[in-house]
Every structure is written in structure tokens, then in C-alpha cells.
Structure 1
Amino acid sequence: MSFLDPDLSGPWAAVLADRYARADSVSLLRAMILDVFPGRITLVSSFGAESAVLLHMVSRIDPDLPVVFIDTGKLFGETKRYRDQLTRHLGLRNLQIITPDPARLKAQDPDGMLFSRKPDACCFWRKVEPLERALAGYGAWISGRKQFHGGARADLQRFEAVDKRIKISPLAGWTRDQIAAYFTAHDLPPHPLEGEGYLSIGCMPCTARAESGASVRSGRWQGLDKTECGIHLSLSEARKRANL
């Protein structure tokens, strides 16, 4: 079975969900990478607090799989150093670092402070638009989202159809304890900021420490009516949210 027609991405998501309903995460990834979308799938990773799990799985299936990393220009230095550490540690051979378009940033965020005025627009130009460019030509991409993160992710399915691509979340049903157990079982290095109370790590200006006992993503965009950056919306929805 191979993915042929992007216009049929909606029906395909349902077909894949049914066919792989009983597959564990590694078996699911192996099938998607090697059989269903060979040469047309990528892993998008933030190299955040939980990212090493999927990266480790992928490294054991195909270390040459493209791994897309969006460097927004506002990331913690610790995240970029962790990215380099994990890439070496896991033997990943196809890391693709994508950056915002300089001309668009100059026009839309000349002082670098758009995050303080229009955070959704900042996310669009620094994350959504670069990712859309990076995904050109792919039929599917792999995401690390999980239901236990709550909010819009609480009802997350393993297969979704968005903008004529299949989005795959192999860890959708995993718990926080399962993530921790996988780190221990495979001796994976933690993100250096996790020990300082950062449980979900994005751009530096919009990421804070989570309060004790709070939800994983409670440190993101604190004080704002915002819980997602927009890369998991359709492109039209992300544009609308950013008032573009």
C-alpha cells in the first residue's frame, strides 16, 4: 500500500487508522517510514523535553530519515545544544535546520518583538510558514504530540489529514510515565532545562517554568489566551488566527 493521491488524504487517514489500530508505536513508525510513505515522510522535532523518544525510535528504523527542526531565532541555547547532542548520540544523519525567511522577518518583525504584540503572528512567521516550506513535497509527517498534554490535544488521534498531508502521532496515547520509562530503558539524555522545571520547551520569550503539579504545557504563553503555536492547524486556520 502506498500513498498516491494527496486529494484523498482524508479517506487515507481513516484507512490507516483502521489498518494500524493495533500496532504499537515502533511497528507503526516502521510501516509508515518503510512501506506506506517511503521517501515521502519526515519527522518534525522540536528537540524538546520529550523529543528523544521519537528520535530514538526513528534512529533505529532509518537514521537517514529527514528530521526537520525549526530554528525560530528565539530558541533557548540549551535546546540547540541538546539538538546537537541528541543528533550525535543517536546517529541521526539527515537533520534539516529550517529558519524563517529573512525578508519576511524584516518586514513583519523588524525589531524582533512581535511576540510581545501579536504572538500568533510571531508564531506564524517564525514557525508555521517555515514548516510549510519544509514540508513541500512530503505526503506525511510525524509529530510528537500526546493526549496527556491536554487542551486541544486531549482527543488527539494517531492519524490526521491536514492540508493534503497525513500527520502521524505515534505517541498519541502514551502517558507521562511511559515517556519517563522509555528514557530510562534506553538511557536517553534529558533536555537540560527539564531539571529546572521547564516541562514543555518552545521559544525563550514565551516559555516559563511549570508550577508544581501543573499540566505539562502550563508554562507556554502564560497569561495569554493561547496554547498552541499554530503548526498543527491547517495553513488557512493559522493565517486566520494570526490575522493575516
Structure 2
Amino acid sequence: MVLDAMTLAVDPDQGVVAEARLLSSQYDGQEAPVVLRAAIEEHFSGEIALVSSFGADSAVLLHMVAGIDRNLPVVFIDTGKLFGETLRYRDSLVDLLQLTDVRSIQPQPALLQQHDPEGALWLRDTDACCAVRKVQPLSVAMEGFSSWITGRKRFQAETRTKLPLFEADGDKIKVNPLAGWNRARVEAYREEHGLPAHGLVADGYLSIGCMPCTDRVKPGEDERAGRWRGQAKTECGIHLGLLGHEAFGSGI
């Protein structure tokens, strides 16, 4: 950690916020691999994981991480509602990049039985569905880590235009090394390194989540316009806070 133990002990939450701001300032303008290596090997060594959806852009960040530490924990939330193409993409990238610690986390059966026994919760309450199938499993999976890496980028949606390199999320810090990348840069990196594309991208799916709530993106729309089509909802809840396990509706 960058800040000293005394600062964190006085006000842990403010300490994490200040640390994230300090790190963002320190690494402003640095290339993504530099930010990643510093986070993995220096600031959060042994306490950091990559959270990956194995979606449209995931190969780029996974490739960077593999070049630093193939043994880094990679957390993948298998909601039980994903496209088969996503699961196959996960398996092919794991083999290609020789990732050794990919953790496929599923919703807890007891919670599914309680909140979504028929598997149709998404039809009546997408927030609650995301909570039980994504947010709660990730909350449990992130126990023991002080930080996690995301592949979010500012260009993806209006809600992400001010995304910092480092940000506080409760008592953890999220690292967003690709925050400043645009679509052209992502594609150039993928092609330069011969990385396969997700099987649904060519069919117009530019942001890929669960099958019932993912649609093709029309020309001129932002890349996440196909998520929860026709609803005001723009995020599943994972990036709206992991404080506690109380995210069943509130905070999403």
C-alpha cells in the first residue's frame, strides 16, 4: 500500500480514497503495461486479482497480465445465463495464454433457490437478477484481495467518461489500466498480438453480458447500448460498489 498504516487506521475508507487518487496521479500518462506491472508486483503484490468477463475486449488485458504473471488469479463470474460463445472464448483464451488460476465463480445455489427458483428473475427485476448472479458472487470471490483489475474504458459509455486509473471501491482499490484506450487502440493491440476475437463481435455484439439482457449495437450507439436494451439500467452493479453483500436491489 502507498499510504502508511497510521493513515489507514485513522480512517480506512478515506485512506483508500486518498491512495487511489495518489496512484492515479502518480501513473497518469503511463502505458497500460507499466500501470499493470506496478499494481501486480509493487503496490498490491499477492493481494490483487483480474476480474474478467471474457467478453468482447477481454483478450487484450488478459494478454498483458499473462506477460507479467500467468499465475495471477483471474476471477470469472459464470452467471448461468451467459452465451455459449463466451464460455468457449474463456476456454480458448485460458489455453492460448496459459493462464493457471482462472476461477469460474457461480451463484450460490441457496440464493438462486430463494430469489430465482425458476430462472426467470431477469424478466421482472434485472437489478435483483444481477445482484444474485453477479454482484454477490463477486463480493465473496474478492474476499482476501485488497485490489482488483478491470478492463473498463472511458469511451465505452457516458457513465465511464471520467474513469480514473485507480479508484476506491469500499475497502478495495480497482485498477483500470485501459481507461484511456479507444476502440482503434484495442483492435490494433489485438491484431498485433494475433489474439482471437469473441465469436459474437462480428455479429454486432460489442458489449457482451448475459444472453437474455444483451442485444446488438446499432451504428452510432455507444458500445454498451445493447445491454439491458430499453431500460435506464447501464451497469450490472459490480462497478457500483461491493460493500457488504447487501446489493439485492439497493446500490445497483
For residue 18 of structure 1, what is the aligned residue in structure 2?
25
* Alignment RMSD: 1.8
Name the structure 1 match of 2:193.
186
SS of structure 2 residue aligned to 1:116: helix
Letter in 1 for 2:30: A
Question: What is residue 166 of structure 1 aligned with on the other side?
Answer: 173
Are residues 241 and 39 of structure 1, via their aligned partners in 2, closer, same or farther at CA, if it must alter by over 3 Å? same
Does residue 101 (structure 1) correspond to residue 98 (structure 2)? The answer is no
Is this contact kept in 2: 1:121–1:243, CA < 8 A?
Answer: no
Distance in 2, Cα, partners of 1:11 & 1:243: 26
> Aligned with 2:239: secondary structure?
coil
Conserved in 2, the CA contact under 8 Å of 1:114 and 1:122? yes
Amino acid at match of 1:33: I
CA deviations over 1:71-95 (Å, ceiling 9, x no partner): 0000000000000000100111110
Question: C-alpha separation between the residues in 2 aligned to 1:237 and 1:139?
Answer: 14
Bigger shift: residues 208-217 or 175-184: 208-217
Aligned mate of 2:57, from 43, 50, 57? 50
- Contact 2:136 2:245 (C-alpha < 8 Å) held by counterparts: no
1:231 to 229, 238, 243: 238
The residue identity in structure 1 corresponding to 2:101 is N
Alignment correspondent of 1:87 = 94
TM-score (norm 2): 0.92
Residue identity in the other structure for 1:78: E
> What do residues 49-73 of structure 1 show as CA deviations (whole Å, max 9, x unaligned)?
0000100000000000000000000
Residues 152 and 176, structure 2, Cα contact 8 Å, conserved in 1: yes
Query: Normalising by the residue count of structure 1, what TM-score does the alignment of the two structures yield?
Result: 0.95
Q: How does 1:1-244 map to 2 (within 5 A)?
A: 5=8, 7=12, 8-235=15-242, 239=246, 242-243=249-250
Distance of aligned partners of 1:16 and 1:243 in 2 relative to their CA distance in 1, 3 Å threshold: closer
Identity among equivalent positions (%) equals 51
Kindly state the Cα deviation for residue 11 of structure 1 after the two structures are TM-superposed.
1.2
Q: Cα distance, 1:243 vs. partner?
A: 4.5
- Unpaired segments of 5 or more residues in structure 2? none
Residues 1:240 and 1:135: Cα distance change in structure 2 (over 3 Å): closer
Hey, what's the Cα distance between the residues in 2 that align with 1:2 and 1:236? 22
Give runs of ≥4 in structure 1 deviating > 4 Å.
Answer: 1-6, 236-241
Name the CA distance, whole Å, in 2 between partners of 1:240 and 1:142: 21
With over 3 angstroms needed to count, the CA separation of the structure-2 counterparts of 1:92 and 1:70, relative to structure 1, is same
CA contact (8 A) 2:48 2:147 kept: yes
Instruction: Return the letter of the residue paired with 2:199.
Output: P
Report the Cα distance in structure 1 between the residues aligned to 2:145 and 2:214, rounded to whole angstroms.
Answer: 30
Shift of 1:22: 3.1
1:107 alignment partner AA: Q
1:24/1:99 CA distance change after superposition, 3 Å: same
Structure 1 residue 235 displacement after superposition: 3.4
SS at match of 1:218: coil
Give unpaired runs (5+ residues) of structure 1: none
1:237 Cα shift?
A: 10
